[in-house]
Structure 1
Amino acid sequence: MKSIKKYIFALLPLAVITYSCDEADVIIQEQKDANPLPAAQTGDPGVVDFSNYVSIGNSLTAGFMDNALYTDGQNNSFPNLLATQFAIQGVGGGTFNQPDINSANGYSGPGPDGIPGTSDDLGRFQLSLAQQRPVPTAGEVPTAYAGNKAELNNFGVPGMKVTDALNPGLAANTYYARFATAPGTSTVLGDALATSPTFFTYWLGNNDILGYAVGGGANESLITSQPDFQDALQQSLGALVQSGAQGVVLTLPPMVLLPYFRAVPYNAIPMDNQALVDQLNAGFAGLNRALDGLVQVSQASPLVNVSQAEADARKVSYALGANPILMEDDALVDYDRPGGEFDILLALNLITPAERQALAPYGQSRPATSDDLPTLVSATSLGTTVGGSATAIIGVTVPAADNLILSASEVQTVVGTRATFNATIAGVVAGINAQANGSITLVDVQPAFADLFGLSPALASFLIDPTSGANAALAAMAAAAADQADGVLGIEVDGQNLRPDFAPNGVFSTDGIHPNPRGAGIIANLIIDALNTSRGADIPRVNVIALRGIIATDL
């Protein structure tokens, strides 16, 4: 190797002497001709003034990714990507300031000690290729924004609902408190209006149902009422338009499709030991007999009304291979309630007191079906034991708690509520546009999601419009989604198929909810396409493939 290096170095002076300056210029020009630099991009704003763009939204707007707000995520927020395209020569965009978090990993939790601000704090997730799952990095508690709050453009606040944009109490949210102009007094909407925006993007409403969904449907109080949703939306959008700004409002995507609800299958209980299968089935024989007993009692007494189909849906039986998760379902009649079905069996001497006691955990339980959606966090609980008991296994012998799985009835609640919110968004935008010369461009993200998740036209229509045409706006959205639903998993971008997950070629970050930079780029392009079509603009699109996907580690 040393001799080869010496030989190459020895030729260098000869090369310098042999080639004249003119010959060198010819070679350089030949290289330039073969590899021309791309021409500088230019664009046109159409009828929109992009000189002071502000974005109002939640974590999607803030650049929250991988379960944390961190610097690279902020840099790749869809508003920041948009602002970069607006700043291209001819488009007329100005500077775009974000409340920088100044943290490589951000903060996702307090760590094992449960105390924020200590050395074991957790940061953003990354995909462990060795473990095939997201794992946290070391994190740090967010600090106050040190820049000029009066010059901010991105007003994205993780966790913010539609009603929170007008609420001074949002200062209780750390992410807003760190850049609020007057914590406890100011509001996100007021701070945004104080900058005199000429153009805005507004994407709120996801959190008005998402909190309920990610919590497995256990807390209905997390759902914003439709009247409150509509009132806050009208006030916010009305104030923005009255300030003279034009803007974009985005619809809410079909969130039950998110990887957060799809990464863990309903039949996530593996069995490869026949002796264990036999032991479990013997243990559940008493429950199954009791359920059949209730069917028999129903035929003879008006006190009980249990059909064979209902009893069969609650029975537990294991087999080799993949088995359904044993889960709680609060939509079921609670057979364990005082004076309930199990107590009636005891009163009729059809079961013993010991058998009655053994039935107590299964008053509202059943094996999951493909219509149920386990949450991503359920993976950390399923298969673990309760109180160290080897026979009390969550999802196997102990029903998985309601907050771990979005049941079929709760899925319907999410789908229906989101549709109601989208109809409200469309109605409010139409009403404002009728009085303000179409100042707002409504960007429907749902067709892109239908394409990304490989939906059939029929499923796309149902998820977007479960009312089956009762609302004209929803019907139009459903038709657009069905038209773009090709049944092929993934979305084609510049010849590459990007997947609806957090794998290396996916468009979601490792928290299963928020997009990664490529996903953010796709969202930005939906907005750009809409502006180019409806506002006479010519804004160059974001190069999605040039953006990164997820962050992975070999550990």
Structure 2
Amino acid sequence: MKKIIISTLAISALLFTTSCEDDFDQDVNDVVVTSGEANFSRYVALGNSLTSGYRDGALYSEGQNESYPSIIAQQMKLAGGGDFKQPLMPNNTGGFNNLPGFPGKLTLKVVNGSLTPVAGTPGGALDNVASGRPYQNMGVPGAKSFHLVAPGYGSLAGLATGTANPYFVRFASSATTSVLVDAISQVPTFFSLWIGNNDVLSYATNGGTNSQTVGGVTTYTAATVQPDTASPATYRSNDISNPNIVAGSIKAVLDGLKGAGVTKGVIANIPDVTNIPFFTRVPYNAIPLDAAKAQALNTQLYGPLKAVLTAYGQGSRINPVVAGNNPVLIIDNKLADLSAQLTAALAANGYTPTQAAFIGNAFGRARQAKQGELMLLTSSSLLGLDATTNQPATPSSLFIYGASFPIGDQYSLTADEVNNISTAVTAYNTSIRSMADSYGLAFVDMNKKMVELNSKSGITYNGVKYTATFVSGGTFSLDGVHLTGRGYAIVANEFIKSINAKYRSNLPQVDANKYSGVNFP
């Protein structure tokens, strides 16, 4: 099994890397902190998992305490801000043991000699903390833009039909309320809104597919962009939300707040999700072969396959490989399925019926990945395994996931899928920027900040360099999607800078180095 290896050199770099430039240059000694033209006495934050403090694949109390709204609220207290309560999980593990698909947080463990993120046992059953309302952190993990205005999103009964979210069930005021209604009921004086990430993220993290399990067999079909005429109840879970739906949902949130007299706040756009470690950690040619293995595969597998594919005008799918330059084999469901033709041709050329069917069915829609296409972090659990045994490949293994046997469509993003994501993010962000201007709100360009983090130079706080590199970059947690405490502190500072610029306040930034990063065993 191919493991995610984290070297001691990378760990040292995380702790000691320095740079000449420094994003934290604020000296607040003897400065009187004021709210300027804003009123921070009742600050409410709306959003999804990024707002809630979710990290390491789970929502847990330690992470919530370092959410970016909590960090902002602490700074607002210096300028008359009020209490900021969060619907804290009852443990520091996260997950729900009475709901499928909600494991405990990821932790680094040594597995077969390598440090690997491993999900823990859920910390307990789904609880209800509504009695502690109101909660000012209204971030709901998994929420898409339209979920914020959906009645019944906190209904316990709705969990069975997929119309509710367990994280909102925990603290919703009623079974019929919405996130927006519960936020407005607090009569906030200031708000933050960061939403839209999940409207494209679920498509991306599932490789541009929707899945269905029938009789124990899971099939994958291509996800699409939702039509803007459909009801949210009919949307498939991994479809990209139509940009008109996203814009309309965000507008509904802002109109609802404005109608309640809440006119001052801050709104952020979303990063291009393909720039986060979940999509950048695993290269498109992740399993380099030596010369002997490459030659053997070209002779025994790639040569015969290419000959058959060429006969059907599909020869470009597979090309001979050379040592150190062998792209990962992927399934591309947009390709014509040549399973039957491959099986028949291989059987006619000396392969046994069993061998021919095995290879033909596997390679019917297979091709080599191209530079710029993305392997998901989840693919690391398969790459390098023997496809016939699901055990680590040996020198005699012919069918190796990624090197000589394709990984499923759900483990990669093709060039077309990457373009779909980029197009959607651009459309979402155009609308968010326009609404920030038309509603007179502070605006945070988180997309620009992610580009900066994703660069080689990254950003520096008090001598410590931060990048978007998985684990060693310091900003992203073990799930490759959500941030560490330090990452959330960096986000909080971006919000604070925009709030100060818009409302003439002087909230001090925080030192990101004082917050938690990745915990090593």
Note whether the superposition's TM-score is higher than 0.5.
yes
Q: Give the corresponding residue for 1:199.
A: 190
Change (3 A) 1:243 1:406: same
Q: Offset at 1:39?
A: 5.2
The reply on whether 1:328 has 2:331 as its aligned counterpart is yes
Q: Distance in 2 between matches of 1:386 and 1:116?
A: 31
The reply on whether 1:124 has 2:105 as its aligned counterpart is yes
Q: Does the CA-based 8 Å contact 1:500-1:508 persist in structure 2?
A: yes
Change (3 A) 1:521 1:364: same
Q: Offset at 1:311?
A: 2.3
Change (3 A) 1:399 1:63: same
Q: Distance in 1 between matches of 2:32 and 2:126?
A: 38
Q: Give the corresponding residue for 1:179.
A: 171
Partner-residue secondary structure (3-state), 1:87: helix
| Aligned pair partner of 1:548 in 509, 513, 516 | 516
Partner-residue secondary structure (3-state), 1:168: coil
The reply on whether 1:507 has 2:475 as its aligned counterpart is yes
Q: Offset at 1:372?
A: 1.2
The reply on whether 1:218 has 2:199 as its aligned counterpart is no
Q: Distance in 2 between matches of 1:350 and 1:125?
A: 48
Q: Distance in 2 between matches of 1:318 and 1:290?
A: 17
Q: Distance in 1 between matches of 2:363 and 2:327?
A: 15
Q: Does the CA-based 8 Å contact 1:117-1:140 persist in structure 2?
A: no
Q: Does the CA-based 8 Å contact 2:297-2:398 persist in structure 1?
A: no
Q: Distance in 2 between matches of 1:193 and 1:428?
A: 19
Q: Give the corresponding residue for 1:470.
A: none
Q: Give the corresponding residue for 1:92.
A: 80
Matches within 5 A, 1:337-348: none
How big is each residue's C-alpha offset from its partner over 1:343-385, in whole Å with a ceiling of 9 and x where there is no partner?
9989xx9999969755343232111122111111111122334
Q: Distance in 1 between matches of 2:344 and 2:255?
A: 59
Q: Distance in 2 between matches of 1:62 and 1:133?
A: 25
| Aligned pair partner of 1:146 in 80, 104, 129 | 129
Q: Offset at 1:232?
A: 1.4
Select between 385-394 and 540-549 the one with higher mean Cα deviation.
385-394
Q: Give the corresponding residue for 1:402.
A: 409
Greater Rg, structure 1 or structure 2? 1
Partner-residue secondary structure (3-state), 1:170: coil
Q: Distance in 2 between matches of 1:199 and 1:549?
A: 29
Q: Give the corresponding residue for 1:14.
A: none
Q: Distance in 1 between matches of 2:325 and 2:258?
A: 54
The reply on whether 1:56 has 2:59 as its aligned counterpart is no
Partner-residue secondary structure (3-state), 1:321: coil
Q: Distance in 1 between matches of 2:487 and 2:83?
A: 23
Matched to 1:139, the amino acid is: P
How big is each residue's C-alpha offset from its partner over 1:372-420, in whole Å with a ceiling of 9 and x where there is no partner?
1111111112233446386554323331111011111100111111111
Change (3 A) 1:128 1:491: farther
Give aligned-pair identity as a percent: 31
Q: Distance in 2 between matches of 1:134 and 1:531?
A: 36
Matched to 1:176, the amino acid is: F
Matches within 5 A, 1:254-403: 254-272=272-290, 274=292, 277-279=295-297, 281-294=299-312, 306=313, 311-312=315-316, 314-321=317-324, 323-336=326-339, 357=357, 358-386=359-387, 388=389, 391-403=398-410
Matched to 2:481, the amino acid is: I
Matched to 1:525, the amino acid is: N
> 5+ unaligned residues in a row in structure 1: which ranges?
1-37, 295-305, 455-487
Q: Give the corresponding residue for 1:249.
A: 267
Select between 513-522 and 495-504 the one with higher mean Cα deviation.
495-504
Aligned residues: 448
Matches within 5 A, 1:447-458: 447-454=448-455
Q: Distance in 1 between matches of 2:125 and 2:196?
A: 25
Select between 261-270 and 96-105 the one with higher mean Cα deviation.
261-270
Q: Give the corresponding residue for 1:106.
A: 94
Q: Does the CA-based 8 Å contact 1:503-1:550 persist in structure 2?
A: yes
Q: Which runs of 4+ in 1 moved over 4 A?
A: 38-41, 115-118, 341-346, 349-358, 389-392
Partner-residue secondary structure (3-state), 1:366: strand
Matched to 1:510, the amino acid is: L
How big is each residue's C-alpha offset from its partner over 1:420-476, in whole Å with a ceiling of 9 and x where there is no partner?
111122233333x2xxxx2x212111221121111xxxxxxxxxxxxxxxxxxxxxx
| Aligned pair partner of 2:498 in 521, 530, 539 | 530
Q: Does the CA-based 8 Å contact 1:271-1:277 persist in structure 2?
A: no
Q: Give the corresponding residue for 1:30.
A: none
Q: Give the corresponding residue for 1:237.
A: 254
Q: Distance in 2 between matches of 1:128 and 1:499?
A: 23
Partner-residue secondary structure (3-state), 2:117: strand
Matched to 1:150, the amino acid is: R
Q: Distance in 2 between matches of 1:402 and 1:117?
A: 23
Q: Offset at 1:215?
A: 0.2
Q: Offset at 1:520?
A: 0.5
Q: Distance in 1 between matches of 2:276 and 2:468?
A: 8
| Aligned pair partner of 2:148 in 165, 171, 178 | 165
TM-score by length of 2: 0.79
Q: Distance in 2 between matches of 1:350 and 1:384?
A: 27
Select between 375-384 and 69-78 the one with higher mean Cα deviation.
375-384
Q: Give the corresponding residue for 1:495.
A: 463
Q: Distance in 1 between matches of 2:497 and 2:483?
A: 19
> 5+ unaligned residues in a row in structure 2: which ranges?
1-27, 155-163, 211-222, 224-235, 391-396
Q: Give the corresponding residue for 1:43.
A: 33
Change (3 A) 1:335 1:279: closer
Change (3 A) 1:147 1:234: closer
Q: Does the CA-based 8 Å contact 2:148-2:253 persist in structure 1?
A: yes
Q: Which protein, 1 or 2, shows the higher relative CO under an 8 Å CA cutoff with sep ≥ 6?
A: 2
Select between 375-384 and 271-280 the one with higher mean Cα deviation.
271-280
Matches within 5 A, 1:7-22: none
Q: Give the corresponding residue for 1:35.
A: none
Matched to 1:366, the amino acid is: R
Q: Distance in 2 between matches of 1:289 and 1:502?
A: 40
